[in-house]
Amino acid sequence: MKQSLLLAFVLISCSVIAQPSITSTSFNSYFDAGTFYLGSSSTIGIGAAGANQTWNFSSLVLTSDGNYSGVAVASAPFSNQFVNANFFVKNTDVGFDDVYDIFTINSAKLDNLGSTTDSGTSLIYTNPRTVYVFPFNYTNSFTDTYQILGESLINTRITYDGYGTLITAFGTFPNVVRIKTEEGDSVFYTWAIPNPYREIASASIGDNGETYFSIKNNPNLDSGFNQTGNKFTIAPNPFTTDFNVNFSNDLQGNFSVDVYDLLGNAVIRNQKMEVSSINLSFPEVASGIYLVTLSDDQKKVIATQKLIKK
């Protein structure tokens, strides 16, 4: 069962993104629904920490791992067994029992108390697990010790180590935070939109050096948060030999276009955009799916769209 425990897990200019912050109000309208996709790569890593980063995972080969939803609800079964519980998230994953994550939230922090199902409790933290302290800003870090009933104490460190733009096969998302979680020998990363809180991706590095990704396709994010997806259009799409890239009238500055296959190989690189519409041709490439990226003069990718060759 893939539980969305919130554990693993605005403004944009052409070159600088304001530092986003996670606060208690980030969870006021928590809702998350869509499809999980899994992928791995020995060449695509987690990327760098720091300010105004671009993390590009758009060339990952992904496999659907099922639909999910997580929605804040007024109450949860058996929640009276958890002292101070006041925030509940119902998680639905097709083929599994519904799971309710039980939290307590206030202006200072978000604590996970455990989880229940319709038939009883499934997880109890005798020492609650702190998910976030508020406000949680860039470079902030905290340590926590939590304990699952009947098990040993577990030490963890949570660090807000970067923010910027995240690119997946499903869109370009500005104003994204990256959270690093260290727990024993394990390290994993979460990318999320902070306000309102929405997780987009997570990743960890295996013992074999492979990076394992979980990417979410949330239709609500595509329509409500993909602030750069309408910056250009492609026609025809699918195409046979050539296609046109047309730019939005509100784009100002110097831009370039790159086209990649799903293995991350460049098919067209650094095609300068000096007019509002250009024609690109590459009839010799194989049929399949390609990714078109739009970059500003600082080489920052600001939009990505899918392109299909017949």
Give the pLDDT confidence score for residue 269 in this predicted structure: 82
pLDDT of amino acid 220: 60
Say which amino acid occupies 204: S
- Tens-of-pLDDT digits for all 310 residues of the chain? 444 433 333 223 333 456 899 999 999 878 888 888 999 999 999 999 999 999 999 999 888 888 888 888 899 999 999 989 999 999 988 778 899 999 999 999 999 999 999 999 989 999 999 999 999 999 999 999 999 999 999 999 999 999 999 999 888 888 899 999 999 889 999 999 998 899 999 999 988 889 999 999 876 664 333 444 456 788 888 888 899 888 776 666 778 888 877 556 778 888 887 777 888 888 788 887 777 877 777 766 666 677 788 8
Among candidates 149, 147, 155, 156, which has minimal Cα distance to 128?
Answer: 147
In the prediction, which pLDDT does 143 show?
Answer: 98
- How far CA 23 is from CA of 17, 27, 89, 191, in Å, comes to 18, 8, 17, 16
Q: What is the pLDDT of residue 116?
A: 95
pLDDT at position 301: 64
Q: Is the dihedral of CA 208, 66, 57, 239 positive or negative?
A: positive
Q: Residue 139: which residues within 8 A CB-CB, separation 6 or more?
A: 159, 160, 161
pLDDT of residue 262: 58
R_g of the chain computed on alpha carbons? 21
